[in-house]
Structures are given as C-alpha cells and as structure tokens.
Amino acid sequence: MKTAEIAQRYLNYFEKNDHLIVPSASLVSDDPSLLFTVAGMVPMIPYLTGVVPAPHPRIADVQKCIRTNDIEEVGRTARHGTFFQMLGNWSFGDYFKEGAIRYAWELLTSSEADGGLGFDEKDLWVTVYETDDEAEAIWRDIIGLKPERIQRLGRADNYWNTGQPGPGGPDSEIFFDRGPAYGKDGGPAVDDSRFLEIWNLVFMQDFIENIRSKTEFDIVGELPQKNIDTGMGLERVAFLKQGVENMYETDQVRPVLDRAVELSGRTYGAVHEDDVRFRVIADHVRSSLMLLSDGVRPSNEGRGYILRRLMRRTVRAMRLLGVDAPSFPELFEVSKDAMKSAYPVLETDWSVLSAAAFAEEETFRRTLASGSTILDLALDETKKAGGSTLSGSEAFLLHDTYGFPIDLTLEVAEEAGLDVDRPAFDELMRGQRERAKADARNRKRQLADVSVYREFRAVGETLFAGYTDLQTDSRILGLIVDGAPVQTASEGQVAEVILAETTLYAESGGQVADKGTIVGTGFELDVLDVQKPVPGLISHTVHVASGSVAVDDRATTVVDAANRRAARQAHSATHLVHAALRDTLGKTATQSGSLNRAGYMRFDFAWSQPLSVETRSEIEDITNRAVNDALEVTTRIVSLDEAKEAGAMALFGEKYGSVVRMVDIGGPWSRELCAGTHVSSSAEIGLVSVVGESSVGASNRRIEALVGQDAFRELAAERTVVSQLSAALKAPRDQLSTRIEELQSSLKAAEKRIAQFEAKEREGRVPALAESAKPAGAFHVVAASLGEIGSADDVRTLTLSVRERLGSDAAVVALGGVANGRPIVVIATNDAARAAGAKAGALVRIAAGVLGGGGGGKDDVAQGGGTDASALDAALDAVVTELKGA
C-alpha cells in the first residue's frame, strides 16, 4: 500500500465520520518559540487551548513535520527521520476516550477492501496511563482486546503535556508487534524495537502547573473542555504495510536511496556504514526539498541554518560514498517525483526549488575547496611545530566558521599522519549547543501567555474596516496591562486595547503597523503598535496620553492619513518591483521576504548573483513605466483554489485560509495574495527610486527603494550634489564622469610619484640609522624615533631595511613614529639576536606598555602602539634597558 494511499484512506475514513479535513500547515511554525512544526499538534494548539475557536468540533489532517534534535540517529534506526508526516484526528469538546479508541481500532483493523488499513488484531498491543482505569476498561470491555495485551505505564511514557503550564492528559498508545526476529516478547513495556508505536491517543483533560520536568508537575484541575489529540506516524505505517525494514525503504523515500546507490556504484546492504549514509541521503534530500517548498532558504542562522546543515550532510555523505561530482540535480529530482502526488507544489515550483538546491550544493563545494586549503595550512603548521595533533579549536573554527565537517577534518588529518584533539572539539561543540539551548529557553521565557486573549477571541474576529475607512466607531472589549486583563488604564500607562472593530492595520505581510490614535469621551490613546497575537484578533498597544479608559467604553480609531497613504504607496510599489523582477529575471526570481513602510520598501528574492547596473536600471524603468501607465488596482475575495487557478502568487512566510484576498495591478501583470493596504491606481505611487541591491545569503538578494515623496527628495538631494560638483569642477553635468575620471588618473599618478619619493627618502635614512647602532648588553641596538610618519607600514619597511644593513652580529632594531596622532613601535631581531634571547614580540609589549597600549607578533618582527605619543622616547629607552639586562 503506497504512502499516499494510506494517507487518503485515513482522511476518507474520518471525513465519513463527520471530521472537517484541513490541509497541512507550513513546516514554518507560527509559534515564535519554535523554528518548525515539530509535531502534528502544533498547528492545533490555538484550538486545543481554546484561545481560538475551532472551525469544526472534529478535524482530521495530514501534517508535515520537521524534527532535527535526533539528527545523529537518522539512518541508524528504523524510525528516526527529520521529515515525517503525522495523521491526526481531533475532537474539541466533542467525542472523548471511547470515540477516539473506537475510531482508531476500526480504521486499523478494518479490511483493506472496506477502506481500512487491514492490520491483524493479534499483532496489536496498547499501553495506557498507570491510573487510567477508564481507558483500560474501554480497550478490554468495549473493544475486546485481551487484558494481557494492555499494559500500564507511567508519566514518562503515557502522559502528554506541552512542557509549559496549561493543558495535559493521559494517553493511550497502539503498538505493532514486528515479531520475534526484532526482539524479545513481553509487549512494549519490554522492548520498543520489536513493538513499534504507530498511534498515540491523547486524552486532554487536565490543567497542569509547576512543571519541574517531564514527569514532575502538578495536576491542579480539569479543563473546562475535554479534547482529543491523536497522531499516527504515516511513515511508520507505510513501512509496515509495504513490508520493508524501515522508513527509508518506503515508496516516498527509497527512490532517492536507489539513485544514490547508482551514482556511487556501491551496494546497499553490503556495508553498514555505507547503508547509514544512503539512508541519511534519502532522508535529508526529502527534508530539504520539503523545507524549500515552504519558503525556507539556506543561510547561517535559524531555519536556514538547519536546512543548510541537512543539505551539507547530504553532500558529505555522497563524498564519503566516493561521489565528488554534483549530485543534487539527480537526487532532488528523484525526490520531487516521489513526493509530487502528495504535494503538487513540488512540480509547479520545481524551477525555483531546484535552483536554490543546486546553488547551495555549489556553494558548499566551494566551501570544501577553501576549507581544504585552510586545513592543509593548519596541518603544515602543526607538523612544522613538531606536533602530532591538530588542536580542537582549529577543528572547531573550520566547522563553525567555514562549515567544514569534523569527520572530513578527521579524514584529511589521518591522511596527513596526524590526530585531531576530538575531546577538545566536542567540548567546544557542547558549549555552543548549551548557548543555543539557553538562548532558546530565554526566547521561550520572553513569550507572552497567549491564553490572556482567549476570552476576547471567543467573542469573534476583530473586524478590520481600514480598507475603505480611516476612522470607525467601536467598543473596547478588553484592556491588558503587563500581560494581565484589567478594567481600566490611566494616563501615562501603556496598555493593549482589544476592539470589536478597527481601521488600524496590524503588522503583517511585510507591511508595518499603522500610526494613529484611539479617542473617546474623556481619553486619548496614542497607538504605539498594532499586532495579531492570535489568528483573527487585533491588539493595539497604546500609551494613554490623557484621561482614563475602561472596558465597554465607546472609542473611535483614527488612522494617520499621511502615513497610511505613504505606506500604501510602498506596499503597491513592492508588488510592481516583484512583477518587474520576474519580467527581467524570469519566474524563478520569487519573493522571500519584504518590508514596507511609509516612503520605503525592501524586497528579498531568490537569486544567487548580483544584479548588473543595467539590470537594476531595467527593473527600475519597468516599475516606473507601470506607475506612469496608471494601472488599475483591484482586490477580490476568492477561494484559495480560484486564486491559484488565476495564477496569483502566494508569498513566503504567509499563511492562507480557504478564502483569500487577491490584489491585481494591471490585471494579471501583477497578481498576488495579499491582505495589505494598496493604492487604487499605480499612478498614486508617484515614483520608485532603487537605492540599493545586496546579498542576504548564498541564494537570496535584496532590493531597496524609496517611494513617493521620499524618492523625490532623494533624487532632489542627488541633483543638488551634482550641481555642486559641476560648479566645483567647472564641467557640464554630462561631462562630470569624464572629468572625475581624469582627476582620479591624475591623483593616482601623483600618489605614485609621492610614494616613490617617500620610499627613496626612507632608503636614504637607512645608512645613518644603521650607523647609530650602539651596544646594549650582548646586542647591537638601533633605537630611534622617526617623528611624524605616514603609516605603520613605513616604520615596518624601514625597520626591516636597517636590520638587513646590520649584518650577522646579534642586532635589534627598534623604531618608532607617530601616525595620525598615535604612536607606533616596530621591533626586528636577526638570527643571532634571537639565539641570544632577544624576542621581538616580548620587547614590543614592553614598549607598548609605556605607550599605554598593546602589541605583539613573532620573535623576528613585532608591532605595537598606544595612546601617549609623548612617551615614545621613553618606550624605546625601556627596550634598550631590557636588552642591557638580558
């Protein structure tokens, strides 16, 4: 039974049993404490906690998930994968334990001919929470499961909670017995390799607090509404139904593994370590493809770093299998073909997704090449110093800064006959992980408890009237101060205001929040920010400028009209720039982020190369021609399917419901899904001036532009500068470039002549300085101040020239000078001086200490400086004194 068929049977069964079927949420989680959707229940948390009313009492879905905390186990066990799909059915105050158990059992054990999954009852075991008599009785007395195949386990195994105060409850898990070949008998309590968990039924009934660990917390009461949260692992069911050994050999994953086998020329099943690498490749390629399809792009932080790590582990595994040539064009296409029936977006967006994948592989191949050079130098230095072990810090630097894998460092070092201080490397890695965990915990602690919005959201969604009006009368539904609901807020306080209706736009879709005020009888509130803390609810953060405001007061929202007009211009300009980019660069130049505020727009897009000046100009020209053409801007509320059929662009990072707002500029020329505010005609934008284009990652670029009056003011300022230059250089505007090039050429020629003169003058000082050498202990010493100098390089050049002039006797040269008001000292020693104990690095630190600064270098030449130029002679005397006592 194919994986997609299993998923469809699941959805068909629950749809038949009055469940609303919802699409998978994005792998990019809405929860700011999570990088990804790590479990099937994550998108349902607002419904499970009651913060947001569920759209239906019963829901079923197939949810995409990414989890990388066990990444080192991938390929080594039958069940660890980074990307997986959870089949979930949910009840929000509807059916409870008996209903959940009945549905699960019926679907699992019904015949395939009747639409079920066809598992044999004799192969199934269950566990229940140690005190859950009710669940055990249902399994035993209603389902008819033999008591010896029902096992009770404690909190560590059969109690679910989020790890934070809130809902929790006992669960019941269903296991499949894989047979005696996989372990000993005795049920899941004895062996979880033989007995594989396939379905978890969570009975969410308790409210818990004071969480000290996974098993230590206090159950303080019952939830007002009992919910069902279940999850069945699609990949686990698939490998059982397909009769294969693990998830990597199922129909959605195995094709990638097979292609890796073909490319490597090796055999799957012959060598254990090779098999692990094949499975890692199969898993990571699919995970990377799915992350790319949800808008994630490789980078050095956050989600992008996780994606980059998956992709680079794939390249590394292929290299260890003997494949040095690019492999992503082969592997990713195979994964796309295996997954596209379940996720058609992989086919429709293939050109964009593949371009990002291939660019990352090429980037990492360059990294491997440069990292190899750095590693070779480090190994040479270790050998020259007589060492046999590369330091852990150098290995960590290669890994952390250059992305060079530790196992590759170990391999190359071994080939060079050296060891690597792996314990020291591991300790540095542990420190990095601890810092990352602490940062994550800190971010989690800083999150507001969104349950404070539950009662306000229960009233309904906040009505946004700002598309057509700048003012509206409303009622204050709630006030929040310091995270807690209050009845009033007084002058000087900062509070959150929840209204039934508002014209103030909440930050979303790249557009910043509106500015404005909220006024009513006896109060005026300055709006500081507008956000959507939970879906459907708008919260206004305000400063109470005067008076006192209370719940149930009537209030009027007033939008700052000038700011809104400029913000509309910028947002509509962003759509025009996006269309112009796709006209110029092609359909693969898709948006990956944006920011729009009054007078300014920033647009990030998928592209790996800098734009030429000509391309930038063309994009700007197409955009302003669209402005000049006064294109009509229309908005329509349509179904998501209608919008996709019409070719509307769905943008990175945005979540869409079944009904969406589609914005057209010039008909289909620019057609995007967007909830932002827009002009009614492109002519209202006025002007778009591109002021910057830069890199924001290996495969992403950024365009910045000023819009409307800000664009005009910027161009007017440039015109003033041009006029001033024209007057100063006595050249017409159209000849300015030629005149400046002529001046630059003249300046370079003059600088060259000056440099030649200075070099000659420096060389002329060498004989006199060398003749000034005086004995100091066992050394001939030149110690002199050169006065004002051009740069430290001048002192260094002169110091080395004098040292060469002094011959083979033990000689030390210490010269100082003042550059831009700061003293500089350079000290050089020859071979005989070093043999007699004179070390330039140690001597320069003495001099720099007198100057109030620091310095360092090698034994033969070193440089230092400080802040007290008047102490330069004293610093040089300190060096001579030190040498006399050596």
Which residues are CB-neighbours of 423 under 8 A, at least 6 positions away? 392
> Maximum CA pair distance of the chain?
108
Which H or E run includes 368? helix 350-384
Residue 508 CA to residue 217 CA, distance in Å, equals 37
Structure tokens at 162: 């989020």
Contact call for residues 857 and 848 (beta carbons, < 8 A):
no
Structure tokens at 411: 């391999």
User: CA-CA distances (angstroms) from residue 565 to 316, 568, 671, 703?
Assistant: 52, 5, 21, 22
Which stretches does DSSP call E strand in 398-444? 419-420
Q: How many CB atoms lie within 10 A of CB 403?
A: 18
Residue 802 CA to residue 218 CA, distance in Å, equals 79
Residue 833 CA to residue 400 CA, distance in Å, equals 40
Contact call for residues 810 and 782 (beta carbons, < 8 A):
no
Burial class (CB in 10 A: 0-12, 13-18, 19+), 464: middle
Contact call for residues 851 and 840 (beta carbons, < 8 A):
no
Q: Any idea which residue has 């195995």 for tokens?
A: 254
Distance from first CA to last CA of the chain, Å, rounded?
Answer: 85
Residue 56 CA to residue 170 CA, distance in Å, equals 24
DSSP state for residue 246 in the 8-state scheme? S
Structure tokens at 693: 């284009």
284 is in an annotated binding site: no
Which residues are CB-neighbours of 186 under 8 A, at least 6 positions away? none
Crossing angle (nearest 10°) for helices 406-415 and 302-320: 30
Structure tokens at 616: 């930038």
Strand order, beta sheet including 822-829: 774-776, 779-788, 811-819, 822-829, 861-865, 854-857
- Chain-centre distance for alpha carbon 507: 20
56 is in an annotated binding site: no
575 is in an annotated binding site: yes
Crossing angle (nearest 10°) for helices 709-729 and 736-771: 60
- Give which of 825, 782, 788, 838 is closest to 806, Cα–Cα: 782
399 is in an annotated binding site: no
Residue 825 CA to residue 816 CA, distance in Å, equals 4
- Give which of 473, 531, 446, 472 is closest to 497, Cα–Cα: 531
Q: Any idea which residue has 């370079």 for tokens?
A: 748
- Give which of 104, 341, 300 is closest to 202, Cα–Cα: 104
Contact call for residues 357 and 289 (beta carbons, < 8 A):
yes
- Give which of 176, 174, 196, 191 is closest to 128, Cα–Cα: 174
Nearest 5°: phi and psi at 592?
-125, 10
Burial class (CB in 10 A: 0-12, 13-18, 19+), 438: exposed
Which residues are CB-neighbours of 539 under 8 A, at least 6 positions away? 453, 480, 496, 497, 498, 506, 530, 531, 532, 533
Q: How many CB atoms lie within 10 A of CB 747?
A: 10
Output the known binding site for Zn(2+): 571, 575, 674, 678
Output the known binding site: 571, 575, 674, 678
